Amino acid sequence: MIEHPDLDLVGLYAHSPDKVGRDAGELCGVASVGVTATDSVEAIVGLHADCVLYMPLHCDLDVVCRLLASGTNVVTTRGEFHRPASMDPSERARVEAACAEGGTSVHSTGVSPGFITEAVPLVLASIQRRLESLRIHEYADLSRRDSPLLVFDVMGFGRAPEELAATGRLTHAEATFGPSLALVADALGLPLDSVQASGEVATATRTIEIAAGTLPKGSVAAQRHAVSGMRDGRELLRFEATWYCTTDLEPAWDARPTGWHVVVDGDAPLDIDMRFAVPIERMAAAAPGYTANRAVNAVPHVCASAPGIRTTLDLPHITATLLSTTNKADR
For the chain, what percent of residues have pLDDT higher than 70? Answer: 98
| 318 DSSP assignment | P
Omega of the bond prior to 251 within 30 degrees of 0, cis?
Answer: yes
Question: Side chain identity at 21, as an amino acid letter?
Answer: G
pLDDT-derived band of residue 60, with 50, 70 and 90 as boundaries?
very high
**Per-residue pLDDT at 9:** 97
For residues 200 and 220, what is the distance between their CA atoms, to the nearest angstrom?
Answer: 10
Average pLDDT over residues 25-49: 96
Average pLDDT over residues 276-292: 89
Q: What contacts 296, CB < 8 A, 6 or more positions away?
A: 1, 4, 7, 53, 75
Over the stretch 113-169, which tens digit does the pLDDT of each residue have? 999 999 999 999 999 999 999 999 999 999 999 999 999 999 999 999 999 999 988
Output the CA–CA distances (angstroms, integers) from residue 44 to 8, 40, 102, 258, in the order listed. Answer: 14, 7, 15, 36
For residues 257 and 9, what is the distance between their CA atoms, to the nearest angstrom?
Answer: 35
At residue 180, what are phi and psi to the nearest 5 degrees? -65, -45
Provide the residue count of the chain: 331
Q: In the predicted model, is pLDDT for residue 331 greater than 70?
A: no
Domain ranges, ordered by start, for the chain: 12-108+288-330, 115-277
Over the stretch 77-121, which tens digit does the pLDDT of each residue have? 999 999 999 999 999 999 999 999 999 999 999 999 999 999 999
Nearest to 273 by CA among 181, 139, 88, 122: 139
Average pLDDT over residues 5-14: 96
For the chain, what percent of residues have pLDDT higher than 90? Answer: 90
To which H or E segment does residue 110 belong?
A: none
Mean pLDDT for all residues in the chain: 95
**Per-residue pLDDT at 160:** 97
**Per-residue pLDDT at 325:** 58
Give pairs for 160-164: CB < 8 Å, separation 24+. 160/218, 160/219, 160/220, 161/201, 161/203, 161/219, 161/220, 164/201, 164/220, 164/223
CB 142 within 8 A of CB 151: yes
**Per-residue pLDDT at 329:** 40
Question: Side chain identity at 151, as an amino acid letter?
Answer: V
**Per-residue pLDDT at 326:** 52
CB 171 within 8 A of CB 223: no
**Per-residue pLDDT at 6:** 93
For residues 181 and 231, what is the distance between their CA atoms, to the nearest angstrom?
Answer: 12
Topology, domain 12-108+288-330:
Rossmann fold (3.40.50)
